Structure 1
Amino acid sequence: MLSTPYRPVLRHPLLRRVLPGLAVSALGDGMSIVAISWLALQLAPDGARGAWVAAAVAAYSLPSALGGVLLRRYLRGRSGAQLAGWNATLRGAALGAIVVAYGAGVLHTWLYVALLAVSSLLAAWGSAGRYTLVAELLPREHHLAANGVLTAIGEFATIVGPPLAGLLIGWTNAAVVIALDAASFAVLAATYRLAMPRTQPTSQPADPDTSEKIGHTTDPSGSEANGRTQRGLLALSFGFFLLFGPFYAAMPIHIADELHAPATLLGVYYTAFGIGAVVGGLGSAFLRRLPLWPAMTGIVVAFGAAMLPLGLGAPAVVSLPAFAVAGLCWAPYLSTVMALFQRTTPPDRLPQVLAAFGSITVIAVPLGTAIGGPLVTAFGAGRTLLLSAIAMMVLGVIAASGMILQPTGKVREEPHPDGY
């Protein structure tokens, strides 16, 4: 990998200190996917277990949207390492408090959900901090590769973390897994504190020629085109994640009721998706020679096309590889979006813009899942999957058409210092 576009990322003297902490924390978060809902099942009273599991899962993510908006006044102007470190500290402390309360025998459902909500309050800022740190430390020709590494770490953890959590819960209990997640965030917080310099890194300036690289013309300052690009990114991403939401509602029912298959098949589908996502995350850097906005809209269309076999009722021998291809398309999307934000946003505003992006998109998938429930009831799981796939393809085509209809400047290739 050292002869690839990832060499400058892995050899950077500061990033290579942070990446192990990110990997440890991602693994802890991957395990928590199972542990949080399982502990909620243990704590909830009979007859309300489903509601409390849903509340716990929502509390571990949705408050980040609130924090992204309400805390903007207090967190703007902070460095990427500060924002990411503060999020890791809060996550570790709140999850640790859950473990302490459980050990003391005083953890009840309301306290559990409240502590989960506190733990996620800075999550949008933590994500913004990670990608801001990339923009602070690396020249922009290496942003896509670094974003791809971050994505691949997270996707790999979602493959390894859940089965590992299942084993640990079987040997011990869910609180032990949450304790390990808290410890992983403590490791990450210490990494940011000790590995990064006390002085704020010098940010890369916003690129005045970015609009040409992504397929837009610009006024002399570039601000109008960049603002239009950022609004387009938010709209396209919200629509993409919203349309992905119904898959979470439809897939289990499709597997159980329409295919009459066991839950293990559902796990195989998600594993295939995760493997594809890891490969796609590592392949993100090779999109750098393409104009990023057309590449991103193409990803949306390709993702919808890869989901079509599921909606059309294709056998698993066809739909399973297609689902892996969908994962292959999924991972580069986030890396590409972040690269566009990094290129079009002034350094002092980048954390705020990325936190706003996180606040908007974190709502989209749960909202889409909620919409998916009535769709499954009305049309069936298979048709809901088909409708979502077609809608994604239409969204990508509309976004691409909007880009094509605008006058475009000459696309300038970025130099490749290492010759790749």
Structure 2
Amino acid sequence: MRRVAMFRSLANRNYRLFALGQLVSNPGTWMQRIAQDWLVLQLSGGSGIALGMTTALQFLPMLLFGLVAGALVDRFDKRRLLVFTQSAMGVLAVALGVLATIGAAQVWHVYLFALALGMVTVLDNPGRQAFVPEMVDRDHLSNAVALNSASFQLGRVTGPAVAGLLIGWIGSGPVFMLNGVSFACTIAALLLMRTGELDPTDRVPLGKGRVREGLRYISGRRDLVLLLVLSACVQFFGANTQNQIALMVNNVFETGAAAFGAAAACLAFGAFVGALLAARRERPRLRMVLLGSLGFGIAQVVSGLMPGYLSFVCVLVPMGLCFMTYVTTLNATFQLSVEPTMRGRAMSMFMLVFMGVAPLGAPMVGILADLFGPQVSLMVGGTATVLVVAVISTLLFRAKGVHPRDLLPGRAGARSRDERGAPAPAR
């Protein structure tokens, strides 16, 4: 029964199509991320700053335009919007792949394509998040969010491993082009959906003040504000783990692209397990957000202390598990806690914090790594994450009336106070 419950949202045909498209496309996305990181390292001579700059440019549009994008998502048909964004990302991947294949790619080309991809992603991410409740009912929403994360992380397991082999065999360029082709699966899934079985949210009328309206709604929810602050801090200090892994593998352990892919796959395997465990839970729970983020920070510190490649990649598994426990539970909390007409703007705020803060932290991580080594950047980031989680947890305890001991699994207090899962509105 538990295994069936783990995949209960797949009973919906439209969601099955969506999940199948993502299952094919996600590995290609992660193949491109590995190829992009490796291409930057090769073109820049192993520069951590160049790697951080690429990440910063890719996530900068979310920081600048995330709120406006959320208002647009609430305004347009989400299925059609996703067809457009997925098509655009496919074209960008193929174009960069052609440049890399013919040997014309330079670092500034990668910067430019990373920025363009970020401009499309600023619409695609909140659009995909807000589209899920239109495919499944409320009882299956938390499960669908977790399965989306599991699919994404499964791609993160297989994609880097395949990319590491393909980069050494045929180069980075063809890997970009393969990812471009994979977007066709997602587009086909969206076009094959039965629109009559969707439950579209009422579109927000065009008008002034829609962004301010969304900000007022979020600011009136103290519980969500605190969770956003937690997410911002964790992302600032810990969102650039992929870059740190690349620097550890290339600069510290001095191994090749295949070892980089294997290390990234270990992190993703832990995240995949974390997402599946989240899918087994009927409701998102506050204590899992806090415990997951705390465990992630501790794992960062431990990974920076590892003396060799094998011990380092072993720590990446629990690191990924903790991070995905935190991310999936936080995402489902937001999905279930906001009004449908505010979902696009609320999820854009979530994605703004979750992805838009990365540009601020990425250059700092690169500078720390270049000056003191990747190990120090990992330990500093992990220590900061642990301290932030402790402070935000204390504030959440006061806002929600939760005692720290209630976070322990099996505690009666945790069951009674946190049984409802998503935080209730705090006006």
Give TM-score, length-normalised by structure 1. Answer: 0.78
Counterpart pick for 1:135 among 114, 133, 136:
133
Cα displacement (A) at 1:104: 9.3
Q: For 2:367 and 2:41, how far apart are their aligned partners in 1?
A: 25
Q: In the alignment, is residue 273 of structure 1 matched against residue 267 of structure 2?
A: yes
Deviation per residue, 1:357-401 (Å, 9 max, x gap):
223322333432322344446665444433322322222222221
Q: In the alignment, is residue 294 of structure 1 matched against residue 287 of structure 2?
A: yes
Instruction: Report the AA paired with residue 13 of structure 1.
Output: R
Q: Which runs of 5+ in 2 are unaligned?
A: 203-216, 403-415, 422-427
Q: For 2:30 and 2:290, how far apart are their aligned partners in 1?
A: 29
Match of 1:15 in 2: 15
Q: In the alignment, is residue 194 of structure 1 matched against residue 188 of structure 2?
A: no
SS in 1 for 2:30: helix
Instruction: Report the AA paired with residue 137 of structure 1.
Output: M
Instruction: Report the AA paired with residue 10 of structure 2.
Output: L
Q: For 2:172 and 2:246, how far apart are their aligned partners in 1?
A: 23
Match of 1:146 in 2: 144
Say if 1:383 and 1:295 are closer, same or farther in 2 by CA, change over 3 A: same
Deviation per residue, 1:331-380 (Å, 9 max, x gap):
12221111111112111121122123223322333432322344446665
Instruction: Report the AA paired with residue 293 of structure 2.
Output: V
How many equivalent residue pairs?
Answer: 393
Q: For 1:23 and 1:328, how far apart are their aligned partners in 2?
A: 19
Counterpart pick for 1:282 among 276, 280, 284:
276
Spell out the pairing of 1:18-57 with structure 2 (5 A cutoff).
Answer: 18-37=18-37
Spell out the pairing of 1:241-252 with structure 2 (5 A cutoff).
Answer: 241-245=235-239, 247=241
Give TM-score, length-normalised by structure 2. Answer: 0.77
Q: In the alignment, is residue 227 of structure 1 matched against residue 221 of structure 2?
A: yes
Percent identical residues: 23
Spell out the pairing of 1:389-400 with structure 2 (5 A cutoff).
Answer: 389-400=382-393
Higher helix share: 2
Say if 1:390 and 1:176 are closer, same or farther in 2 by CA, change over 3 A: closer
Say if 1:111 and 1:347 are closer, same or farther in 2 by CA, change over 3 A: same
SS in 1 for 2:341: coil
2:36–2:110 contact (8 Å) kept in structure 1: no
Q: For 1:350 and 1:34, how far apart are their aligned partners in 2?
A: 32
Say if 1:187 and 1:404 are closer, same or farther in 2 by CA, change over 3 A: same
Q: 269-278 or 60-69: which moved more?
A: 60-69
Say if 1:175 and 1:247 are closer, same or farther in 2 by CA, change over 3 A: closer
Q: 24-33 or 383-392: which moved more?
A: 383-392
Say if 1:11 and 1:323 are closer, same or farther in 2 by CA, change over 3 A: same
Cα displacement (A) at 1:15: 0.4
Q: For 2:122 and 2:169, how far apart are their aligned partners in 1?
A: 33
SS in 2 for 1:201: coil
Match of 1:207 in 2: none
SS in 2 for 1:62: helix
Deviation per residue, 1:305-327 (Å, 9 max, x gap):
33343344577776654331111
Q: In the alignment, is residue 402 of structure 1 matched against residue 395 of structure 2?
A: yes
Q: For 1:99 and 1:376, how far apart are their aligned partners in 2?
A: 29
Cα displacement (A) at 1:29: 0.7
Q: For 2:313 and 2:103, how far apart are their aligned partners in 1?
A: 44
Q: Which runs of 5+ in 1 are unaligned?
A: 205-222, 416-420
SS in 2 for 1:195: coil
SS in 2 for 1:120: helix
Match of 1:215 in 2: none
Say if 1:385 and 1:13 are closer, same or farther in 2 by CA, change over 3 A: same
Counterpart pick for 2:350 among 344, 351, 357:
357
The RMSD of aligned alpha carbons is 3.8
Match of 1:367 in 2: 360
Match of 2:424 in 1: none
Say if 1:196 and 1:397 are closer, same or farther in 2 by CA, change over 3 A: farther
Q: For 2:70 and 2:359, how far apart are their aligned partners in 1?
A: 23
Counterpart pick for 1:88 among 83, 86, 89:
86
Q: For 1:53 and 1:380, how far apart are their aligned partners in 2?
A: 14
Cα displacement (A) at 1:68: 2.4
Instruction: Report the AA paired with residue 288 of structure 2.
Output: A
1:68–1:122 contact (8 Å) kept in structure 2: no
Instruction: Report the AA paired with residue 153 of structure 2.
Output: E
Match of 1:183 in 2: 181
Match of 1:156 in 2: 154
Say if 1:65 and 1:314 are closer, same or farther in 2 by CA, change over 3 A: same
Counterpart pick for 1:386 among 379, 386, 409:
379
Match of 1:220 in 2: none
